[in-house]
């Protein structure tokens, strides 16, 4: 199985469990690996047969802009569901990091794998 990557995509979202976090946008950093077979797209140089990472990146940005969650875990789970449904992604590994959430850490976050991600 091949992988299509989107790494270190920065988005702004309303995310957090504290009252003050519900009124500001905070930066999240997204890493996404999507399982796919690129052979057909590559053989014909055909974007329609590929996972379009520009369209997927825009979807992630729009998702972050239009939703508010308390937990990074909820953000990751719902984004995963949305990506799999809207783009027909059979398997993915999604990392969502929240820089600066813990004073002594560069970032905190979660990594989830969903679907057929062998």
Tokens (6 digits) for 28: 């999240």
pLDDT value at position 44? Answer: 94
The confidence band for 118, taking pLDDT boundaries of 50, 70 and 90, is low
Active site residue 49: no
- Total domains in the fold of the chain: 1
Number of residues that make up the chain: 118
Coil, strand or helix at 59? helix
Query: Which entry of 32, 94, 98, 109 is annotated as an active-site residue?
Result: 98
Q: How many angstroms separate the CA atoms of 63 and 58, rounded?
A: 8
Structure pTM? 0.94
pLDDT value at position 117? Answer: 74
- Over residues 17-41, the mean pLDDT reads 95
| CB 111, CB 75: distance < 8 Å | no
User: pLDDT, tens digit, for every residue of 58-115?
Assistant: 999 999 999 999 999 999 999 999 999 999 999 999 999 999 889 999 999 999 999 9
CATH of the domain at 32: 3.30.1130.10
The confidence band for 1, taking pLDDT boundaries of 50, 70 and 90, is confident
């Amino acid at each position: 199985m091949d992988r299509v990557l989107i790494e270190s995509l920065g988005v702004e979202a309303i995310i957090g469990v504290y009252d003050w976090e519900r009124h500001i946008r905070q930066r999240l950093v997204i890493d996404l690996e999507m399982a796919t077979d690129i052979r057909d797209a590559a053989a014909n140089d055909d974007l329609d047969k590929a996972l379009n990472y520009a369209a997927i990146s825009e979807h992630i940005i729009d998702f972050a802009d239009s939703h508010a969650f308390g937990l990074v875990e909820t953000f990751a789970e719902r984004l995963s569901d949305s990506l799999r449904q809207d783009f027909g992604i059979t398997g993915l590994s999604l990392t969502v990091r929240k820089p600066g959430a813990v004073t002594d850490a560069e970032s905190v976050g979660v990594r989830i794998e969903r679907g057929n991600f062998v």
